[in-house]
Chain A
Amino acid sequence: MNTISKMIIPLFVLFVIFYGYRKKIMIYDTFLEGAKEGLITVFHIFPAILAMVFAINIFLNSHLLEKIFSLFIPFFNKINIPVEILPMAFVRPISGTASLAIMNTIFANFGPDSFVGRLASTIQGCTDTTIYVLALYFGSIKINKTRYALTTGLFADLIGIIASFIIVHLIF
């Protein structure tokens, strides 16, 4: 699986360039034209990224989430959900690097083949940083009325996290 995914990019680039060459378009000039558009895109998404990183950093560094979790520890112990996974499940939609850091700690403390380790891996693999992605994608085209996008995305994340828990229980 890993070798296949490593070959995809080179093969894709080869194919695109070759196809453009065969169709006799000015590949070099077209590339430059597209690259210039890419530069403009980056210029457009920059404020959205900066704004989100700013807010997320302040929020995560306040350790408010940990405080809230500590209230629920007895409850989660009762229904047999490992407490270690909670911060990760909550941070996952906000920040990819933060949830990766939590997964790192879980691996270091419990090992990747433990129940929590497998659960963390599955959650990290099955969901994405919904809030960050929405800010980035909508910010790039200057849309501020996002309607039901955020709640639907977060609902999908929640189902993914619950499903991860059940699936890891069942198949390992």
Chain B
Amino acid sequence: MINKLWGFFIIAGISFTLLFGEFSGLNDTILNSATDGVKMIMDLLPIIVLWSGIMKIAENSGLLYKIGNLVRPLLSKLFPSLKKDSKALGYITSNIVANAMGLGSAATPFGLKAMEEMQKENKNKEEASDAMITFLVLNTSGVTIVPTTVIALRMMYHSQNPEEIIISAILATLCSSIAGLSLDYIRRRKKK
């Protein structure tokens, strides 16, 4: 699916620009996107390295397992295919909490670790497991409670009440998460 989408973006983008747009800009776009990619990774690099270090302490001291314990009953219902004592559950919890508090960049390293742990339990290493898909649906439907960037931008434009959108965002998030998880559940069931 990602293969097709990736191809579609490039083929549609280049052909449309060649036909209707200014293709002098296309050169710059192609060459600069490599630089943009490097910039993006450079923003992520220090955060991921730092948090991986700190989370390793949490893992080795048993703290991560304890965090996982707090929500294990709930999460094991959402992730029935994961082992009951899976390390992934601790990382999934940390990722969801960081995302919910609007700390998007701090959440990424936890999410990557969660994927790594789920991959260890995955039978077919090339194919996404049920648990991975549930996790990503939960992650991308965005359980954000405090959308920090949005609030900051609203403040910048002198909103009368920058925080007022927290309520509407939470309600909308609830709708999208429930819809995503339901569809995930249905499709997971259909497979068997």
A39, A62, A146, A150: which has the most chain B beta carbons within 10 Å? A62
Complex Cα gap A62–B160 (Å)? 37
- B69 CB–A CB distance under 8 Å: no
Structural contact, B56 and A33, CB atoms closer than 8 A:
yes
Count of CB-CB pairs between chains A and B under 8 Å: 338
Residues of A contacting B36 in the complex (Cβ-Cβ under 8 angstroms): 53, 57
Look across to chain B and name the residue whose beta carbon is closest to the beta carbon of A153. Answer: B140
Structural contact, A64 and B176, CB atoms closer than 8 A:
no
Structural contact, A144 and B116, CB atoms closer than 8 A:
no
CB distance from A162 to the nearest CB of B (A): 8
CB distance from A159 to the nearest CB of B (A): 4
When A31-B57, A153-B137 are in contact, do A127 and B176 touch as well, CB less than 8 Å?
yes
Structural contact, A143 and B140, CB atoms closer than 8 A:
no
Structural contact, B133 and A147, CB atoms closer than 8 A:
yes
Could you say which interface size class chain A belongs to?
A: 35 or more
B1 interface neighbour in A41, A93, A100, A146, Cβ under 8 Å: A146
Could you say which interface size class chain B belongs to?
A: 35 or more
CB distance from A84 to the nearest CB of B (A): 15
- B154 CB–A CB distance under 8 Å: yes
Structural contact, A16 and B165, CB atoms closer than 8 A:
no
When A57-B29, A147-B127 are in contact, do A156 and B172 touch as well, CB less than 8 Å?
no
Query: Which residue numbers of B lie inside 8 Å of A, CB to CB?
Result: 1-3, 5-6, 9-10, 12-14, 16-17, 20-21, 25-26, 29-30, 32-34, 36-38, 40-41, 44-45, 48-63, 101-103, 106, 108-109, 111-112, 115-116, 119, 124-128, 132-133, 136-137, 139-142, 144, 146-151, 153-154, 156-169, 171-173, 175-177, 179-180, 183-184, 187
Query: Which residue numbers of A lie inside 8 Å of B, CB to CB?
Result: 1-2, 4-5, 8-9, 13, 15-17, 19-20, 23, 25, 27, 30-35, 37-39, 41-42, 45-46, 49-64, 67, 93, 100, 103-104, 107-108, 111-113, 117-118, 121-131, 133-138, 140-153, 155-157, 159-160, 163-164, 167-168, 171-172
